[in-house]
Amino acid sequence: MKQLFINGQFTDASGGRAFSVLNPATEESIAEVAEADARDVERAVLGARKAVDEGKWASMGPSERSRLMFKAADLMEQKLDEFIQLETSNTGKTLIESKIELSLAVEVLRYYAGWASKHAGETLPSGPKAFLFTLKEPVGVVAAITPWNFPLLLAMWKVAPALATGNAIVHKPASLTPLTALRFAEVVVAAGFPEGVFNVVPGPGATVGAALVTHPGVDKVAFTGDTSTGREIMRSAADGLKKISLELGGKSPNIVFADADLDAAGRGALNAIFYNKGEVCAAGSRLLVEESVQDELVGRVAERAKKTAVGDPLDKNTRMGPVISKTQLQKVLSYIEAGKGEGARLAVGGDRPAHLSKGYFVNPTVFTGVRSSMKIAREEIFGPVLSILSFKDPADAMAKANETMYGLAAAVWTRDLKKAHRVARALKAGTVWINTYNLYDVALPFGGYKQSGFGRELGREALDLYTQTKSVWVDLS
Ligand code: NAD
């Protein structure tokens, strides 16, 4: 039984309840995890409050915080293979996808460890009668609530800047994927962080998540997940006027002009939608292709998609594993039916691999002849389903690209530098890739326009989510 991690201790759940965590490739249980409830949230928030208000953590200098974070990064790196096995068994992502996720998590920890001693207030110009300066102070107790697609990486996007700036964190991982967060809690202990600084309370969103969002001891909620959940969190956080940042869904356009390197664009389009089985918030799920090269590009994409090795994610030759759960599989299959029903043409996939009798597998799926009004062009599927639309000219491409409530990411493929820049500016999206897709840098902010959320994670900007500015006026008259 994996226990909760509260106030520096692994502990049983107050209600004595537990839930099973499955391997989506085998449909078998790989762990029993203690299920937190509101009483455990209470314990965790109190511990975190104490850490941030009066404990050792509160009086620690930035260099010492930095040292602990670097140590945690080193310890995690030493156990990286264990983390990789755990993440792959729990999420169905391939070993290489887990390696990328977890190596990035270590990098995020190191990047913000460096910021701990550099994020500073400023001295403002003033006359001889005053001395004006600002202090950057921690927000306090942060609730970090995350989804199942990049379990530890998306937690680290929140935990690392929050630690660097002196906050305490109560982390609620997605119930489907709590294992790497609990393993990271062991790293936190081994690195020597004071008690209460980091807590993990796995359990359902409706109880544990909701209790965190409304708890008066929580100062900030950092959330990644579905847009509808984001709306609910915003409503519940309103009474306590909590600070919130929301990283939500997407339906990102990937635009290929006729003058692009079509070989690179074809490979990029596959990576954009099939990486991590399409369970990527920024997935390039709408491929917009200029009419004159549509047949050629569709041919390239379809040919490669058909060859994708779908299977056991622990096998080194596998390129795509199962989707995360039975519910998600059914959701993906129902979108495929909707696409067929609305008249889109199925170019590849649309079914489940015949050679796999167990696991939530679905073949890479490509629809052509998709129109913007179709469900598969409007709604986030969060699975390996690509919708291909065509456009006539740049204006048509822009209109179609921006015709969505989302605005998380977008890409443009062209050899024309001016066109690339013009399109990048016209796209209503938080991230725009030019002649590439799905690349992330720890220094480059990430977040959404429109209903893909607000607040920027990563980079220097994320530090602002976890600090507040105190202005100090010293009278010298
Ligand atoms: P989800 O919204 O169902 O759950 C996310 C987390 O919120 C889970 O931990 C869940 O238990 C919790 N939760 C659910 N209801 C809650 C409530 N009422 N109060 C508090 N917490 C609650 O999302 P999911 O299905 O786990 O993840 C998939 C979604 O995440 C997709 O829509 C995807 O686009 C989005 N996502 C966005 C980004 C981004 O950076 N923008 C990154 C990854 C995933």
At 178, the pLDDT band (50, 70, 90 cuts) reads: very high
Ligand 1 neighbour 397 (Cβ under 6 A): no
Q: What local confidence, expressed as pLDDT, does residue 190 receive? A: 98
The confidence band for 265, taking pLDDT boundaries of 50, 70 and 90, is very high
Q: 91: closest CA among 279, 250, 218?
A: 279
CA-CA distance, 42 to 167, in Å (whole number)?
17
- What is the Å distance from ligand 1's center to 174 Cα? 8
247 classed as catalytic:
yes
Q: How far is CA 264 from CA 279, 311, 346, 349, in A?
A: 22, 25, 23, 22
Question: Measured from the CB, is residue 281 less than 6 Å from ligand 1?
Answer: yes
Per-residue pLDDT tens for 9-68? 999 999 999 999 999 999 999 999 999 999 999 999 999 999 999 989 999 999 999 999
Query: Cα(271)–Cα(439) distance, rounded to whole angstroms?
Result: 10
Using a 6 Å cutoff on CB, does residue 432 contact ligand 1? no
Q: Is 247 in the pocket of ligand 1 (CB under 6 A)?
A: yes
**Average pLDDT of 126-136?**
97
Ligand 1 pocket member 176 (CB < 6 A)? no
**Using CA atoms, how far apart are residues 84 and 70, in angstroms rounded to an integer?**
20
Question: What is the CA(473)–ligand 1 centre distance, in A?
Answer: 42
401-431 pLDDT, tens digit each: 999 999 999 999 999 999 999 999 999 999 9
How far apart CA 431 and CA 132 sit, in angstroms, is 36
Judge contact between 339 and 367, C-beta under 8 A.
Answer: yes
Q: Give the residue among 433, 452, 436 at the shortest CA–CA distance from 444.
A: 433
Probe ligand 1: pick from 171, 281, 327, max atoms within 8 Å of CB?
281
Average pLDDT of the residues in 217-232: 98
- Asked if residues 361 and 397 have their Cβ atoms less than 8 Å apart, the reply is no
**Residue 324 in contact with ligand 1 by CB distance below 6 A:** no
For residue 397, the CA-to-ligand 1 centroid distance in Å is: 30
Q: Of all residues in the chain, what percent carry a pLDDT higher than 70?
A: 100
pLDDT digits (tens, 9 = 90+) for 191-219: 999 999 999 999 999 999 999 999 999 99
Is the Cβ atom of 172 under 6 angstroms away from ligand 1? yes
The minimum-distance atom of ligand 1 relative to the CA of 228 is 2
Q: Give how far Cα 426 sits from Cα of 189, 408, 422, Å.
A: 47, 14, 6
Cβ atoms of residues 257 and 233 within 8 Å? no
Letter string b/e over residues 122-134, b meaning 16 or more CB atoms within 10 A of that residue's CB: eeeeeeeeeeeee
Cα–Cα distances (Å) from 215 to 49, 218, 221, in that order, read: 12, 6, 10
Question: For position 173, what pLDDT does the model report?
Answer: 99
What is the per-residue pLDDT for 55? Answer: 85
348-382: per-residue pLDDT in tens? 999 999 999 999 999 999 999 999 999 999 999 99
Distant-in-sequence, close-in-space partners of 380: CB < 8 Å, separation ≥ 6: 227, 249, 250, 251, 285, 406
pTM score, two decimals? 0.97
| Tally of CB atoms within 10 A around 298 | 22
Average pLDDT, the chain: 98
Choose the residue to mutate in 145, 221, 223 for probing ligand 1, maximizing ligand atoms within 8 Å of C-beta.
145
Tokens of 36: 């937190």
Measure 94 CA to ligand 1 centroid, in angstroms: 22
HEC states along the chain?
Answer: CECEEECCEEECCCCCCEEEEEECCCCEEEEEEECCCHHHHHHHHHHHHHHHHCCCCCCCCHHHHHHHHHHHHHHHHHCHHHHHHHHHHHHCCCHHHHHHHHHHHHHHHHHHHHHCCCCCCCEECCCCCEEEEEEEEECCEEEEECCCCCHHHHHHHHHHHHHHCCCEEEEECCCCCCHHHHHHHHHHHHHCCCCCCEEECCCCHHHHHHHHHHCCCCCEEEEECCHHHHHHHHHHHHCCCCEEEEECCCCCEEEECCCCCHHHHHHHHHHHHHHHHHCCCCCCCEEEEEHHHHHHHHHHHHHHHHHCCECCCCCCCCCECCCCCHHHHHHHHHHHHHHHHCCCEEEECCCCCCCCCCCCCCCCEEEECCCCCCHHHHCCCCCCEEEEEEECCHHHHHHHHCCCCCCCEEEEECCCHHHHHHHHHHCCCCEEEECCCCCCCCCCCECCCHHHEECCECCCHHHHHCEEEEEEEEECC
The answer to whether the CB of 209 is under 6 A from ligand 1 is yes
49, 354, 382, 441 from 147: Cα distances, Å: 25, 29, 12, 20
Q: What mean pLDDT is predicted for residues 261-278?
A: 98
Which atom of ligand 1 has the smallest separation from the CA of 246? 41
> In the predicted model, what is the mean pLDDT of residues 260-286?
98
Which ligand 1 atom is nearest residue 148's CA?
26
Q: 41, 207, 229, 452: which to mutate for ligand 1, most atoms within 8 A of CB?
A: 229
* pLDDT 10s digits, 69-118: 999 999 999 999 999 999 999 999 999 999 999 999 999 999 999 999 99
Q: Quick one: tokens of 173? A: 């991982």
Atom of ligand 1 nearest to the CA of 281: 34
400 band by pLDDT with thresholds 50, 70 and 90: very high
Given a contact cutoff of 8 angstroms between Cβ atoms, the answer to whether 230 and 384 are in contact is no
* 18 and 203 Cβ atoms separated by less than 8 Å: no
Is the CB–ligand 1 distance for residue 229 below 6 Å? yes
Q: pLDDT, tens digit, for every residue of 449-458?
A: 999 999 999 9
Catalytic residue among 281, 290, 380, 457: 281
pLDDT interval class at 269 (50, 70, 90): very high
